[in-house]
Structure 1
């Protein structure tokens, strides 16, 4: 029987994360599993707790949203330890990419009997963050600004907070001139954003890269060009299904290493948490993480 250590996000998950864990914990313990719970003081502390539990041979459960999933998964990347996700945050996009259920009974069955699979992670380096490993994507542009607004929202949650944050960000955005280098080949790009995606989803269920796979050893690089705001709002709606990739204003490339630079200070984010400014380099780490799902 598996042994679990649950690392609970103290902020984004908060009481929601604790509530999600209560129902799941009862099912795991009734099945005979050992479960310990750790409440982290910060995302950095969450990573430390995850590494310690992984070294003890325990399955580490990241309880919360994409921020703690990325932090815990990044800490376990390359260690051989196994990650389990308990989706209880604002976005839950990496759990969505894995097809994980949210209903406690179904999730408990995955955690108790599911076979671990190897998935890719993403090594992120910049002048601000020497080295960070994340799970989902690196996004640089209006979406990073929108995510900042969403994270600071006190009135809205989930998709609504991202949509409101997107409207606010687009209203003030002016197109940036990017230099995007994919596996050594430079591409000039003027527009709204550049996304280097390991997972197809970001922004609470928006399908930014519909062909991205978490285990193919590649990043899907989605570039959205400058366009009238009216057209961009239509494109935002198409993110629900991934139909935006068929528009001429959207270019999709694929590669193992992506460097994103810009002609001015452009924000970027990763897994809904890290906030910094370009330039940034993202490199895929194939099969670096074992995950239940």
Structure 2
């Protein structure tokens, strides 16, 4: 007869760290970045600068929340920067032609949903890889924005209510930041408390299994790209309202920042695992690094090098450490 012994209970602290290693790691990295720049430049921790960071991070956070859904399904959207630019430029052109800004906002959100829905249809129902579809979208949408504006910036005038969305404050907090926080909370609730969130995770874990148990797997897959399109519409509006203009050159490199924020936050590129709170921390980390480098009078182009490095390290940690059931301390013995 074989004698079985009960596995000794591990340390609760070790279990907690092991189960939340990704979020804890990005939280620690974020705190270290704040401390680093706070020590090196006295203006970094000024309230005005901190509010400026959250205001500038708002568009990235809005799209990163939607990108979390996309990546959770095992996909990716490389077109978000170009989509933001096209919607941003279109909104400016329409308002310059006299269209009321509330109507322009509604039309831009619909435009984002349509563009995202078209890409999602190609990916879900035509079986074309998301990388190819959205890479094509990156080129097409940026080209359309350039054609629409002929490379010029389109000013927006006499739209104080519209400008308030990008420049206003409520109780001392920037309106764009409050909008981004509300969207992040909505994303958190969707992922943890709704059937749709569970379906997104199921599709990313095993799409065929999700389909066989009766889930509308293809619809769910297509829908996350529509959600990303709507998020791009919100981001484009926030950028246009803050800058007071629309431009085909808006959101250059935006997709890299968004993807970096999501993977840095711990969402698995293999699909089936998401961390909305980690996405928020990842977004703020990217924003802090960009702002801190500028305050240190380092070339803004260096930010692209840092962003690329962060993506590489995050992917390495994602696939080599966390995806292999990494645990703090020794592995538990069965």
TM-score, length-normalised on structure 1?
0.23
Larger gyration radius, structure 1 or structure 2: 2
Q: Which structure: greater strand fraction?
A: 1
**TM-score using structure 2 length:** 0.21
